Structure 1
Amino acid sequence: MRIARWPGLAGVAVIWLNPATAAEWSSTLTLASAYSYPSGDWQENSATWQPQWVQRFDSGAKLTAEGLVRVDIEDRLDPGQPSQPFRARDSRAYFPNDLTDLELRELYLDHYLGQAFVRVGRQQIVWGQADGLRVLDVINPLTYREFILPDMEDRRIPLWSALVEAPVADWTLQLVWVPDGTVTESMLPGATFALFDDPFQGQGQLQVERPRSGHQSDAGVRASAFVDGWDITVNYLFHNVDDPLVQIDPETRTTAFHYNRSHLFGATIARAFGSITLRGEVGSESRKRYALADYQGWQSTRETSYVLGLDYSVSGDLLISSQLFQTWRHQAEAGLDRHREQWTLLIRNEQMNDTLTLELLAIYDVQEREALTQLSAGYRLTSRWEVSGGVDIFSGNRTGTFGRFQDDSRVHLDATLSW
C-alpha cells in the first residue's frame, strides 16, 4: 500500500469509531478574468468553486476537506490535459476535458493526544517569517500556473504529510514528516508562464526524475519560543530540493529534470517595537545544484539565504513593509553569481471601515535589473460579495525571471461570492 494513502485511512478510521457531533459547510465561487494588454490576448476567463467541509467528532477530532473545481474557457495557463509529471500520483488534479480541472486541495485530521497536537493528511505546513520570498518556507512546493502572481497560500501545493506539535519546557516543538514526492510544478512549454523553452520544438521528450513517494521522504523539526519580547524559531529539514536541475541531451533529444537531497538549517526572529516590527530569517542549504549555460553540465554549491524585514503600521490603516533578500553561493564558479539580491516593497491601505483595500507590491531583482509591480484594489460589497481588480506589470531584462514575461503583463478583475 502506498504511504501517501495512510492519512486517508486514518480519517476513515476516526469516522467509523467516533460519532459526529457537528458538520460545517462553506464555499466560495470566484469569477476571474485576466487580459494581457501588450499582446492583446485573454489569459484567463474562469469560474472557480472551492467547497470546504468540516466534520467534528465526540472524541474532539476534526476532519477538514477542501476541494477545487475550475473551468477556464481560455485554457492558456495550463493548456490541455497535462500529464502532471511533477506531482506524485495521489496529489494530482483530474482534468475531465481541456477546460476543466478538479482537485482535492486539502484533507486532514486534527486531534490532540494529551498536550500534543497532531495533524495528518493533505495539508500546507508553513515555516518562516518572510512575505513572498522563500527561505525556510520550502516544505510545500509551488505551482507556477500563474507564476508568482497569486497569494502564497494559493501557490503552495498541499502534500500528504504528518505534523506533531507539543510543548517542551518553555519551547514548542514541531515534528514534520512528508512522504509525498511532489516537487515544484513548472508549466510546460506552450503555457503562458512557462519557465523554460522546448529546445527540440516538440520533437523531444521530457524526463522528470522526481523523488519516489515514501522512499525519499522529507523530515524536519522546528523549535519555537517567545524570549524577552522576541519570537524565535530554530529549524532543521532534510528534504528534496524542489527546484529542478535542468539538463539537455541533444543526442537523445531529452530534457531532464533532476532533484537532490539537502540539509536545511535555519532560524527566524521577530519583534514589535510599537508601530514597527523587525523580522529576520536565515537558512543554509548543504547542497544546491545549478545548470551550466548550455544545460549539459552543472555545479554544486552550499548556499545561504536570508531576509531582513521592516514593517511600519501607520494609525492601523496603513502598512508599509520592506524586505531585503540575499543569497550567497559558497562555491560559485563558471558564470554563476556569487550572490543575488532582491528588494520588496509592500504598501497596503484600508479605508471605509476596512471595506476598501488598496495595495502596491513591488519586487526588484538587483542583478538582472528587472521588476514585478502589482497594483490592486479590493472592495467588500457585503459580508458575502467582494470584487477586486488590478494590474501586474513585468519589466526589465528579457532574459531574466521577470523580464521574460513583459508581454504577459496584464489587468485582471475578480468577483467572489462566499456562503
Structure 2
Amino acid sequence: MTNTSNHSAKFLLLFLLFLPINTVWGQDMGESSWQIKGFVDTYHAIRSEKPSDLMSSRTRIRGEIGKSFGGSSFFVSFNATHNALLKERTGFELREAYLDHREEHWGFRLGRQLVIWGVADGVRIIDLVSPMDMTEFLAQDYDDIRMPVNALRFFVFNEKMKLELLAVPTFEGYKLPTDVGNPWSVLPKNTVQPLVWHEDGSHPKFRFSNMEYGGKLCFTLPGVDFSIAALHTWNKMPVITYRSSGIHMAVSPQYYRMGFFGGDISKPLGQFVLCGEAAFNVGKHFSYKPEAGVMEQKGFNTVNYLIGVDWYAPSEWTVMAQFSSESIFGYESHIAQPQHNSLLTINVSKKLLGSTLQLSNFTYFDLNHKGWFSRFTSSYALNDYIQLLAGYDWFGGNEGMFGVYKHNSEIWLKAKYSF
C-alpha cells in the first residue's frame, strides 16, 4: 500500500470510530436526515484442484453517507480494501458521490453514480452505461462487478411515465485482469513470445465529441411495465489486438463508438413474472481471431435479446431462468465470437430456518461452447448485523469464456458485518 493509501486508511478508521458518536449527536440535535451506514466484509478463496493455491483474499470496509435537505440529497460511498493477492487493488476508492434533486414532476442526479438499465439478472442487453470490473471475472457479487460512472441524469415523471435523459462526459471501460499473476488474467498463457500489456493512448480523450448520451422512457401501467431506450456510447469491452515487435508481443485494448436502441418489458402473472429485453446494436466491434489480428477493424450491426421467467414459488423457493442470444449481421469468419452467441442462466434459491439460511445456485451455460460457470452459495444470518457465507464456484468446458477458466474452480468463504 502506498503512503497516500496508508494515510487514507488511517483517516477512514478514525472516521468510522467517530461515526457512532456523530450519528447519535445528530439525532439528539434533530438532524435525523443524516444517514450513515456501511459494512465490513472479508472474502477468501482457494483452488479446489492442485496446486490448491490462493485464488482471492481481500478485506474491505464500505462506508455510505447520505444527507437530505428539502427536495435535495447527496450520497457518498467509498471502499478501503486490503487485497493480499492483487496488491494494486489495495487502497482507498471513492465509489459513488452524487447530488440528487427532486421536484413534483422533474429532477436530476449529478456526479459519480451507478446507472442500471433493463430487467435482466446478470446479463447485459440494454444495461450498457456502467462498465464492469472483471478483475476476478464473475467470481464476485454482481453489485461489485458493475462500476459507477460520472454522469448527469435528468428526469421528467408522473405516476405512469418516467423520462430519463443521460450524459456521460468521461469515458470508463471494463477493468480487465492483465497481470500474469492473476488467475483470472485475460491474456493467453504459454505463448511463444512474452506478452506486454500496452494501453497508453488507447482510451478515448476527454472531449465533447466523445461524450456518451442517450435516454430511456419508462411506463408503469396496470399489469405491465416496459421501457424504450437509446444510447450513443462506446463499446466498453475493448477489442484486443496483438502486434509482434520481434522480441515480445504487444497486447493493446482498442475502444470504438457504438449505439443501440431497444427496450425491456416485465409482466407479473400470479406467482410468475415474465420479462424480456432486446437491443439493436449499431457499429459494434469485435476482437478477431489471432491469425487475423492485422486486418482492419470495422463495426457490425447486431441484435441482442433476452427472454426470462421468474417463479416465486411457495415455501420460499425462487426459480429464475433466462435465455439470451446475440446475432451478428454480415458476419465474417475472422470474428472471434460466433455469429449466433447464446447463453442460458438458471438461478434457484431456497430459504430455511425462518429465512435465516438461504441456499442458492446461479449458473451460466454457454450453449455454443458447452461451457458453464456455476456458483453454489450458502448464506446464514447469524443476527441482524452478521452474515456468514460459504460456497463453491464450478467452471467447466474446453472452449469459450468459461472453458478458459476450467481449472479455476474454487471453494470460498465470506463474512460480512453491517453497521
**TM bin (shorter chain):** 0.7 to 0.9
Show the counterpart of 1:145.
Answer: 135
Question: Is residue 163 of structure 1 aligned with residue 153 of structure 2?
Answer: yes
Q: 2:235 aligns with which of 233, 241, 250?
A: 241
CA distance in 2, matches of 1:221, 1:309: 24
Contact 2:366 2:400 in 1 (8 A): no
Show the counterpart of 1:197.
Answer: 188
Show the counterpart of 1:409.
Answer: 409
Structure 2: runs of 5 or more not aligned: 1-30
Question: Is residue 262 of structure 1 aligned with residue 258 of structure 2?
Answer: yes
Q: 1:177 aligns with which of 167, 173, 187?
A: 167
CA distance in 2, matches of 1:204, 1:236: 33
Show the counterpart of 1:29.
Answer: 40
CA distance in 2, matches of 1:363, 1:208: 35
Aligned residues: 378
TM-score by length of 1: 0.85
Q: 1:283 aligns with which of 279, 295, 307?
A: 279
Q: CA deviation at 1:375?
A: 0.6
Show the counterpart of 1:305.
Answer: 304
Q: CA 1:206/1:238 → structure 2, altered by over 3 Å: closer, same or farther? A: closer
Q: 1:69 aligns with which of 76, 80, 83?
A: 80
Show the counterpart of 1:369.
Answer: 370
Q: CA deviation at 1:207?
A: 4.0
Query: Which deviates the most, 377-386 or 218-227?
Result: 218-227
Question: Is residue 187 of structure 1 aligned with residue 177 of structure 2?
Answer: yes
CA distance in 2, matches of 1:203, 1:180: 26
Q: CA deviation at 1:208?
A: 5.5
TM-score by length of 2: 0.85
CA distance in 1, matches of 2:77, 2:219: 31
Q: CA deviation at 1:61?
A: 1.5
* Alignment deviations for residues 124-150 of structure 1 (CA, whole Å, 9 cap, x no partner): 010011110100111000011110122
CA RMSD of aligned residues (A): 2.0
1:320-399 to 2 correspondence within 5 Å?
A: 320-336=319-335, 337-397=338-398, 399=399
Contact 1:207 1:254 in 2 (8 A): no
CA distance in 1, matches of 2:207, 2:220: 35
CA distance in 1, matches of 2:313, 2:158: 37
Question: Is residue 296 of structure 1 aligned with residue 294 of structure 2?
Answer: yes
1:18-167 to 2 correspondence within 5 Å?
A: 22-38=33-49, 39-57=51-69, 59-73=70-84, 75=85, 79-81=86-88, 100-167=90-157
Structure 1: runs of 5 or more not aligned: 1-19, 82-94
CA distance in 1, matches of 2:392, 2:36: 33
Show the counterpart of 1:318.
Answer: 317
CA distance in 2, matches of 1:234, 1:102: 37
1:149 is paired with a residue of what secondary structure? coil
1:405 is paired with a residue of what secondary structure? coil
CA distance in 2, matches of 1:389, 1:27: 21
Contact 1:306 1:327 in 2 (8 A): yes
Q: CA 1:386/1:203 → structure 2, altered by over 3 Å: closer, same or farther? A: closer
* Alignment deviations for residues 97-132 of structure 1 (CA, whole Å, 9 cap, x no partner): xxx221001111111244212111110010011110
Contact 1:207 1:257 in 2 (8 A): no
What letter corresponds to residue 210 of structure 1 in structure 2?
H
Contact 2:153 2:165 in 1 (8 A): yes
1:321 is paired with a residue of what secondary structure? strand
CA distance in 1, matches of 2:231, 2:376: 35
2:157 is paired with a residue of what secondary structure? strand
CA distance in 2, matches of 1:320, 1:276: 10
Query: Which deviates the most, 201-210 or 149-158?
Result: 201-210
